[in-house]
Amino acid sequence: MRALITGAGRGIGAALMAEGRGRGHEVLGTVRSGDGIQLEVTDPAAQARAAGAVGAIDLLVCNAGVLLDRDAGVRDLSVEDLRQTLDVNVTGVFLTVQAQLANLSRGGRIAIISSQMGSSTQATGRTMAYRVSKAAALNLGLNLASALRSEGIAVGIYHPGWVRTDMGGSAAAVGAEDAARGLWDRFERLDQSTSGCFETFDGQTHPI
């Protein structure tokens, strides 16, 4: 497959690049600085430039994301953090898919990296901006699965595990390489029969 991964400079995105290449796929990655396709996911002009630079792909992985309001509650969540979180984690995913649709054809796949924290079963009331954004990314993925079914494009939504990255922290349960291995297993199985799935990296169906 020829794949594009957003936010590939570090963390899960970097591990997904390495794992995909190790499996023999051609994997391109976007970054905000340094080597790679330059992409700030919230910038429509940058999205258009990236789409032109990338060309035809079989798989798009919307991985870039932020967690800005760790443990914040209803009284201490700032409007800036709420807006920025929704901009990157929801609008950024939508703009990425919209721009890259020209590069995907029938049989193409889109993977959205959401989180178990976006599940309505985990609405704990803390880290609310992140939870709301990941719930929206999950719902966006479900809508995209419906919208793109007639075009033969499959959409999967994934929880990568609690992963040891800058975001997940050093106490997290899963190494980035293990998360990437499990996620690639999911991507390789994604087709029309599994489109609209919400799965963990290790293949469990997660409640929406």
Q: Which residues bind ligand NAP (CB under 6 A)?
A: 6-7, 9-13, 32, 39-42, 63-66, 88, 92, 113, 115, 159-160, 162-163, 165-168, 172
64 token code pair: 């870039």
Please report how close the Cβ of residue 86 comes to ligand NAP at its closest, in angstroms.
12
Please report how close the Cβ of residue 26 comes to ligand NAP at its closest, in angstroms.
20
**Considering beta carbons, is residue 58 or 162 the nearer one to ligand NAP?**
162
**Neighbouring-strand partners of residue 198:** 157
**Considering beta carbons, is residue 63 or 127 the nearer one to ligand NAP?**
63
Please report how close the Cβ of residue 58 comes to ligand NAP at its closest, in angstroms.
21
Token look-up 């258009």 returns: 48
Please report how close the Cβ of residue 163 comes to ligand NAP at its closest, in angstroms.
4
The secondary structure of 24-55 as a DSSP string is: T-EEEEEESSSSSEE--TT-HHHHHHHHHHH-
